[in-house]
Amino acid sequence: MNKVSLEARHISLSYGTTEVLRDINLKIEPGEFFALLGPSGSGKSTLLRLIAGFSQHQRGELLVDGQDITRIPPHARNIGMVFQSYALWPHMTVWDNVAFGLVERRETRDAIRRKVGAALELVGLGDYGKRRPGQLSGGQQQRVALARTIVIEPRLLLLDEPLSNLDKNLRVQMRDELKHLQRKLGLTTIFVTHDQEEAMTTADRMAVLDKGVLQQTGPATSLFDFPVNRFVAGFVGTANLLAGRVAGQEGGVLRFDAEGIGELRLPWPDDGPLAAGPAAMAFRPHQVHLQAAGTAAIDSARVWLEGVVESTEFLGEVSRYKLRVGRTLVVADQVHYAGEPVLAPGAAVQCGIDPRQVRFLAA
């Protein structure tokens, strides 16, 4: 299949006075697996439907390989879409479901037989052609929906929350299969999800949307390590966000007045100056090191805060603690090892924060 690019230039869409998409600028490379990530109502599914042609933007351009497809109707765009509900015909066999698009295009019987057979083999359902959707599991139904889409050889593949109806274990299996299939076909794919783990484990790059605005675009590691604002920091992974104010910087030390905690002094390079003013100090729970209160600091490079365990969650690989530090809650994840006790609520601890992992975000 040919690899094509997609570009959105200043795309805006409103329903009445409600702005759903606001000045979206986005470039997706040929053959890329790209994820649109955001909460419900962020505009990600609207953007996907707009690409498919089911919605119409009022401003901007939508380009596929440099051609503006804004005025091209959905059936003429040759874009395949897999819906959350799979949208299979229950009275038709698996074979007939997959063949439907080819029949509508008036392909020859030999071409239909060859293409449907190849598509079903590709998704591992070569022996299921005579069954009906009601006789299949959720994962198998999703494979049928994928086969029905790829059999028409679309220029773009759009996936709208395709894994949300599956249980957790099957979701993990199917996202691996999706990624493998996409790599095999080399098909430019756009995957809409509200699940950060799905986006981070499948996509080459992703874009985070909130309230119709594109917040940040890039590889998962870039968004996780270097979020541009509080929303991205809190949505891509889990983040501690200490509100406060950058008070000043001198002699390689940054002074930050954290609300409910007090002044923190962090080693900070002079070549990375920060403007004084309101900010949020962001760091990840797994970057917090815990040790018993009163213990000498193991790592003098860390900034140490005194806290008390308020609650504990055992998550298997890690134990997650909510700590009361001053008047602020800090979340800390500690790797769990067999036989290692879990800290009880009320335990006094010291929290060590590595300044190299800290990000300061605008208020």
Strand-pairing partners, residue 35, are: 191, 206
Domain boundaries defined on the chain: 6-234, 238-362
Note the CATH number of domain 238-362: 2.40.50.100
Distance CA 30, CA 65 (A): 9
| pLDDT for 172 | 83
| pLDDT for 176 | 86
Distance CA 156, CA 120 (A): 19
| pLDDT for 240 | 96
| pLDDT for 271 | 67
Distance CA 287, CA 308 (A): 18
6-234 CATH, one of 3.40.50.300, 1.10.3080.10, 3.90.550.10, 3.40.50.720: 3.40.50.300
pTM tops 0.75, yes or no: yes
| Cβ-Cβ contacts under 8 Å for 176 (sequence gap 6 or more) | none
Cβ proximity of 244 and 280 under 8 Å: yes
Distance CA 331, CA 322 (A): 5
Over the chain (363 residues), what is each successive 10-residue block's mean pLDDT?
A: 90 92 97 94 94 93 95 92 84 93 90 92 90 90 89 92 78 84 90 90 95 96 96 94 92 92 88 85 95 78 92 94 95 93 93 93 82
CB atoms within 10 A of CB 83: 14
DSSP 3: -
